[in-house]
Chains A and B, each alone.
Chain A
Amino acid sequence: MSQEYGTVGEDLTLRERIERRPQPAVAWLGGLLVMVLLEFGALMGTVMTTVPWQSIGQTLPLTAPWAALAGIGDALADLPTLLSREVIPNQGYQLPGEGWQGTFLGLEPGVAWAFRVLLIYGYSFVLLAWTFYGYELFRRHYRAADWTPYDDMLSRLDGHRWGQFGFVIVFAFVVMAVFAPALGPTTVDRNIANPYENEIQYYDENAGEVMTTLVGNANLQSVSKGAGGRNVGPGEYDDFGRFHPFGTLPSGKDLFTFMVAGARVSLFIGLLYITLAAGLAIVLALLTAYYKGLADLAVVIAGDSVQALPQLLVLILLSFVLSDTWIADIYDGGLLLALIFAATGWPYLWRAVRGPALQVSTEEWIDAAKSFGQKPRVTMQKHMFPYVVGYLLIYASLSLGGAIIGVAGLSFLGLGVNPPTPEWGRAVSAGQPYVATASWHISLIPGIMVVLIVTAFNALGDGIRDAIDPQSQEGSTEATAGGTGA
């Protein structure tokens, strides 16, 4: 492809190649900069709140410049961002004859909220497309090689509608988790965690004026308990002019806010689990494939031992036993769950990549590298890892779905993530008595979301499998994909 733009020097570094032809790269970076600037405040906010700067600062000897930097960081974090509830507010009250007060452009709260959601998803998908476009630019203008195996994998994904469906849903789920605070019609803090410390204004028809009440009191008037008209269904307003896209919980709290915050918790646990388990799995697979013999036998026995423990039962046991310890307080129990999942789940991933790792270890190039005197670590990293990592991705995608179900199942039993931190399984549990009533949404919507996301992760796994290994038989991955039985 590079021929039409003249030959690209194979011996140049990427930097030199960009200097030779800077125009597409600069244009692309400019676009990226605009998009980052729109959300710069939120980005800084994440940096300032998630990293424990306080403890880092204490360990550093020079405090003064750091304090100044922290001040700047906090100031930057407070910069207005495009996709926030401050710019596009959806909470207000309706004065008769004057329309909505306090909402974005005086729109109805539901419309204002929908506008914000659309904008967030629009932004995210544009950013995604821009990233792909950047890769295309890199491929066309700056990559030294005309062709790499990844090109074939991508082109195989081109017509893979099932895998694309999975990717889009998974991406939408990730966006939901990332933008959780901006997506909900209200925030977890205001509506779910501390409803009695926050106030809302509403227009009281009987009094004929704008009144102020505690969110907790308003919630008590907006419960969804099935019979007797005490129900705020999906897409309905409650008596306080608050819009509930998914309706309310039996406690009167907003289900959509609960769901998006729960998505964040689920995704955090799932990703941490997969990172830990996959890291362990691939290191063990490479080591055992390289050294074979006793190392292999030891890991086989260790893996079999862990797999012989029923995973869900160990999860129940451990998350109950450790529920009162300090580790269960970190990230509301999310860290503990991820660790337990990783400790019990790695053999499934390891088994999945053991075959490919053993296969690649018998190739001639490994022998060549060995006789060449290459260090074992370099051989594994450079010559075995790239071959195995694709297989790991397939199973990682499948196991992530299983982990989301597992976490939901545990919180359904009242274990795992501590209340009031939202978790989807707890919504299913709360709605259990009302499934066949007017308040059907409480159990049904979280369940359907789980089904959709787990299906999407499976579809994504199928897509990756077909992309990296088109000859592999469909269905060969199912048997070993970790399911807990939740």
Chain B
Amino acid sequence: MTRWRYFLRRMVLSVPILIFGTTATFWIIRMGPIDPAAAIIGPDGDQQAYQRVRDQLGLDEPLWEQYIDFMIGMFTGDFGQSWVLNPDTPAIVMLTQYAPRTIWLGFWSVLIALFIGIPLGFYAGLNSNSWSDYLASFGGIVWRAMPNFWLAVILVSLLSQSQQLFGFSWQNWIVRTNVVTSPPLDNLTDPESFLIALKTTIPAALVLGSSSMGNEMRIGRTAILETKNANYVEAAKARGIPGRSLVWKHIFRNAMVPLVPIITGEAFLLIGGSVLVETVFAINGLGFLFFQATINGDLPLVGTLMFIFILLIVGLNIVQDLMYTLIDPRVGYDGDA
């Protein structure tokens, strides 16, 4: 099978997945006891207003008609308008308002995890069975086992009280910021506002990336241990290739292969974890929006968010498999789907 046919097959296979996910979302929300009309008019609304809202939203139409409308809307990019949180605002507009903060947070959490986790893992692997290896490995295991929400709670408290606890004020360090706040992203080209945005995001990004960091460390370490003793490394050593070039050209490049699924797999953890981390750090991003939309029964918003998340995950899976075939041509096209 050529690469393009493989790619096409993956695309075709992803269609039922998208349909299933969107259908599941619709049925979960509409079959449940949530009544969006009651949520919109509030507890004091009279019967007439209630009925008017129900008619307006089309809640009394047959469920399968609503379902078909919903599905067609989702797949044609017509995501509808928010019902409860911000009435009459298109869901896609709300999405674009909230998304930048989550993307900013996700970007830094991936970056921090990559730039701490992988070097630490490679270091531990190159110095295997030394005390620094044990320390790094054990730290990685414990770090990975920490629940995000708990880590976030602890970090917020420590940073907010850093003056009293450590005699070092995190809030006043370099630029003045609050700990629990959304990063302002209006003017990122200005160095100071960039710094402020970065500083308010770093703790949350560290928490969100914690489990990925642990994973990357452990797998990086194993990958180094395996390539270090591989025959081609022995051969390169025998040919007299100097240590530095041996490590960079022959060990690191091949050790990267098993890290690919970990890095793309971070997306799953980020999407789920963002709800809790954004709640604790009071960042009004997509996770926060999803939680609010859920507890308010805002069907179009929840549906849109789920649809986008599913699209993202399915897309990332395809990209990951393509990356595999690019990095390591031995990976078959028709093996494990």
Contacts between chains A and B (CB distance < 8 A), count: 187
* Cβ contacts under 8 Å, B145 to chain A: 401, 450-451, 454-455, 458
Chain A's closest residue to B305 (CB) is A313
Which A-chain residue is minimally distant from B274 (CB atoms)?
A: A485
Are the C-beta atoms of B222 and A312 separated by less than 8 Å?
no
User: In the complex, how many angstroms separate the beta carbon of A160 from the nearest chain B beta carbon?
Assistant: 15
Contacts of B280 in A (CB 8 A): 432
Whether B148 and A458, one on each chain, are in contact in the complex, defined by CB atoms closer than 8 angstroms, is no
Query: For residue B160, which residue of chain A has the nearest CB?
Result: A436
Q: A90 within 8 Å of B by Cβ?
A: no
Also in contact, A451 and B273, with CB within 8 A (given A475-B219, A486-B148):
no
Cβ distance A380 to chain B, nearest Cβ, rounded Å: 21
CB within 8 Å of B: which A281-334 residues: 297, 300-302, 304-314, 316-318, 320-322, 324-325
Residue A364 at the chain B interface, CB threshold 8 Å: no
The interface residues of chain A lying within 8 Å CB-to-CB of B158 are 435-436
**A105 within 8 Å of B (CB atoms):** no
CB-contact partner of A313 in B147, B223, B265, B309, under 8 A? B309
Contact of A305 among B16, B161, B290 (CB under 8 A): B16
With a cutoff of 8 Å between Cβ atoms, the chain A residues found around residue B291 in the complex are: 316, 413
Residues of chain B with a CB closer than 8 A to A71's CB: none
Q: Does A428 contact B (CB under 8 A)?
A: yes
B164–A436 touching, CB < 8 Å: yes
A309 to B160, CA, bound (A): 35
Bound-state CA distance A478–B274 (Å) is: 21
Tell whether, in the assembled complex, residue B161 and residue A436 are in contact, meaning their CB atoms are under 8 Å apart: yes
B201 within 8 A of A: no
Q: Which residues of A contact B28 (CB under 8 A)?
A: 314, 317-318, 321
- Is there an interface contact between A324 and B33, defined as CB atoms closer than 8 Å? yes
Choose from B144, B221, B273, B290 the contact partner of A485 (Cβ within 8 Å). B273
Q: How far is the CB of B225 from chain A (nearest CB, A)?
A: 8
Judge whether B13 is part of the interface by a CB distance below 8 angstroms.
yes
| B157 contacts partner chain A, Cβ-Cβ < 8 Å | yes
Q: Is the beta-carbon distance between A321 and B33 smaller than 8 angstroms?
A: yes
What does DSSP make chain B's interface, helix, strand, loop or mixed? helix
A47-B113 Cα distance, complex, nearest whole Å: 49
Say yes or no: A485-B24 contact (C-beta < 8 A), given A308-B310, A428-B153.
no
Which residues of A433-486 have CB atoms within 8 Å of chain B's CB atoms?
A: 435-436, 443-444, 446-447, 450-451, 454-455, 458-459, 473-476, 478-479, 483-486
Q: Indicate if A223 sits at the interface (CB-CB under 8 A).
A: no
Are A310 and B271 also in contact (CB < 8 A) when A305-B16, A321-B34 are? yes
Q: Cβ of A455 and Cβ of B258 under 8 Å apart? A: no
Given contacts A455-B145, A474-B222, A483-B211, contact A309 B306 (CB under 8 A): yes
Residues of B within 8 A of A474 (CB): 218, 222
**What residues of chain B lie closer than 8 Å to A401, measured between beta carbons?**
145
Known contacts A309-B310, A310-B271; A486 and B276 CB within 8 A of each other: yes
A450 in complex: contacting residue of B150, B211, B269, B273, CB < 8 Å: B150
Within 415-443 of A, Cβ neighbours of B (below 8 Å) are at 425, 428, 431-432, 435-436, 443
- The answer to whether A311 and B276 touch across the interface, beta carbons within 8 angstroms, is no
- On whether the beta carbons of B141 and A455 are closer than 8 Å, the reply is yes
Residue contact B258 to A475, C-beta cutoff 8 Å: yes
Q: Contact at B290–A308, with CB atoms within 8 Å?
A: no
Given contacts A409-B149, A447-B150, A475-B258, contact A313 B272 (CB under 8 A): yes
**Do residues A479 and B262 form an inter-chain contact, with CB atoms below 8 A?**
yes
Q: Identify B17's interface contact among A301, A313, A459, A483, CB under 8 A.
A: A301
Interface residues of B in 21-39 (CB under 8 A from A): 21, 24-25, 28-29, 31-34
Contact of A473 with B226 in the complex, beta carbons under 8 Å: yes
The CA of A425 and the CA of B150, in the complex, are separated in Å by: 8
Instruction: Flag whether A408 is at the interface (Cβ < 8 A).
Output: yes
Residue A400 interfacial (CB < 8 Å): no
Quick one: given A305-B21, A325-B33, A486-B149, are A451 and B272 in contact (CB under 8 Å)? no
Rounded to whole Å, the gap between the CB of B219 and the closest CB of chain A is 5
B87 within 8 A of A: no
For the complex, what is the distance from the CA of A141 to the CA of B226, rounded to whole Å?
43
Most B CB atoms within 10 A — which of A355, A432, A473, A478? A478
Which residues in B have their C-beta under 8 angstroms from that of A300? 337
The bracket for how many chain B residues form the interface is: 35 or more
Tell whether B283 is near chain A: CB-to-CB under 8 Å. Answer: no
Smallest CB-CB separation from A435: which chain B residue? B157
Residues of A within 8 Å of B154, CB to CB, are 435, 443-444, 447
Complex interface bits, B288-319 against A, C-beta within 8 A gives 1, otherwise 0? 00110011000000100010011001100100
Interface residues of B in 127-152 (CB under 8 A from A): 141-142, 144-151
Is B112 at the interface (CB under 8 A from chain A)? Answer: no
8 Å CB contacts to B: which residues of A324-366?
324-325, 354-355
A405 at the interface (CB under 8 A from B): yes
* Contact in complex: A312, B157 (CB < 8 Å): no
Residue in B13, B164, B223, B276 whose beta carbon sits within 8 Å of that of A304 in the complex: B13
B165 at the interface (CB under 8 A from A): yes
- Tell me, yes or no, whether A387 is within 8 Å of chain B by CB: no
Q: B200 on the interface (CB 8 Å rule)?
A: no
Give the distance to chain A from B19, nearest Cβ to Cβ, in Å. Answer: 8
A138 interface contact, C-beta 8 A? no
Cα–Cα, bound, A354→B337 (Å): 11
Given contacts A325-B33, A428-B150, contact A313 B275 (CB under 8 A): yes
Q: How far is the CB of B136 from chain A (nearest CB, A)?
A: 14
Say yes or no: B269 contacts A313, CB within 8 Å.
no
Residues of B within 8 A of A309 (CB): 21, 24-25, 306, 310
Looking at the assembled complex, report how far the CB atom of B164 sits from the nearest CB atom of chain A, in whole angstroms.
7
- If A321-B32, A321-B33 touch, whether A473 touches B222 (CB-CB below 8 Å) is yes
Interface flag for A125 (CB, 8 Å): no
Known: A312-B273, A405-B147, A478-B215. A322 touches B141 (CB 8 A): no
Kindly provide the distance from the CB of A466 to the nearest chain B CB, expressed in whole angstroms: 13
* Structural contact, B21 and A409, CB atoms closer than 8 A: no
Give CA–CA (A59, B21) in the complex, Å: 42
Task: Give the top 5 A-B pairs by smallest Cβ distance, nearest first.
Answer: A485-B272, A312-B272, A321-B32, A435-B157, A485-B273
Sample 24 A-B pairs with CB under 8 A, ordered by A number.
A304-B337, A308-B18, A309-B25, A309-B310, A310-B272, A313-B272, A313-B275, A313-B306, A317-B29, A321-B28, A321-B29, A408-B147, A408-B149, A409-B149, A443-B154, A447-B153, A450-B150, A451-B145, A451-B146, A451-B147, A455-B141, A475-B258, A485-B270, A486-B273
Known: A310-B268, A318-B28, A476-B258. 8 other contacts (CB 8 A): A310-B313, A313-B290, A317-B29, A425-B149, A428-B149, A478-B218, A478-B262, A486-B149
